[in-house]
Structure 1
Amino acid sequence: KRLRELTVRGNKWSNPEREEKLRQYTTGWINYYRYADMKTLMETTDEWLRHRIRAIYWKQWKRVRTRYKMLRALHLPEWKIHEMANCRKGVWRAAGMLNSALTKKILVDKLGYPSMSVHYLKVRVNY
């Protein structure tokens, strides 16, 4: 529920501010539950969270012209850029297509969003 509140598409946070709030919340939550066996839960929640972040970016790129510009910056083939930028599907469906452009590596390494499963594997304590 709290992750939904932090990733609402309609709030007025900047992307670095959203990233920082997500990092603080997920770090604290994972550190609290580090004794639990929840590797699969972390992986599925992580996938869902990345999908939600992609939906936020798609929503921010409101116009087709902006989508073209942003997708070109990600070095995609021209046919793929045209296909994705002119997509008339909903935000959630388009975010699924955006998975090939905004990969996990880009979201975590370049944009700085937290990876819950990676952090959990670092701090977990198994008995």
Structure 2
Amino acid sequence: MASLTKFLEEKLKLRVNRDKSAVDRPWKRKFLGFTFYQFYGKIGIRVHQKSINKFKAKIKEITSRSTGKSIDYRMQKLKQCIIGWINYFGIADISKLTKELDEWTRRRLRMCFWKQWKKIKTKHDNLKRLGANEQKAWEYANTRKGYWRISNSPILSTTLTNTYLETIGYTSIHKRYKQVH
């Protein structure tokens, strides 16, 4: 570090921020939200865990149950967030990560729908409208399970399908990544 600092400051006449600067292996450092990895002798780029956590926190904020926002508004904000994130981090190797984030985000959206439906009759009617049979619709409409738990249930996965979510405006993270990449 000392020799690099000396070279940068004396030869190149650059100022080095000693608090932020460090000399280490590339895969041990974070740079502009990215980190690097070595795999079979090749170097790859991935998104740093802090950047992933920040993105998930933003999605949590948009899909929070405690705020009374419409689904259209949530879809619009999600689309903006997803497009911006993918446009920035699209150069990294994140195919598997985008699939996981997509599943998690869709589950959060299903939770929002379930919370908005509130009443048992509304839950039942919406489940029926989306294709659930009568018995299952009443069974799930009357459940006492929490919003997060029910959002991963088979009934919501088969009624609020991925295709349905896309038709109402959800931008798939993985599909967006495939378009950019």
Which range, TM-score by smaller chain? over 0.9
Q: Runs ≥4 in structure 1, deviation > 3 angstroms?
A: none
CA distance in 2, matches of 1:64, 1:12: 19
Matched, 1:118 2:175: yes
2:47 aligns with none
Matches for 1:1-127 after TM superposition, within 5 Å? 1-97=57-153, 98-108=156-166, 110-124=167-181
Per-residue CA distance 1:34-53 (angstroms, 9 max, x = gap): 11010010000100000000
RMSD over equivalenced CA pairs, Å: 0.9
| Higher strand content, 1 or 2 | 2
Report the structure number with the largest CA radius of gyration.
2
Secondary structure in 2 matching 1:8: coil
Q: CA deviation at 1:63?
A: 0.7
Secondary structure in 1 matching 2:131: coil
| Higher helix content, 1 or 2 | 1
Relative to the length of structure 1, the TM-score reads 0.92
Q: CA deviation at 1:12?
A: 2.3
Q: CA deviation at 1:82?
A: 1.6
Q: CA deviation at 1:113?
A: 1.0
Q: Structure 1 vs Structure 2: percent identity of aligned residues?
A: 40
Q: What stretches of structure 1 of length at least 5 have no aligned partner?
A: none
Q: What stretches of structure 2 of length at least 5 have no aligned partner?
A: 1-56
Paired residues in the alignment total: 123
Q: CA deviation at 1:23?
A: 0.1
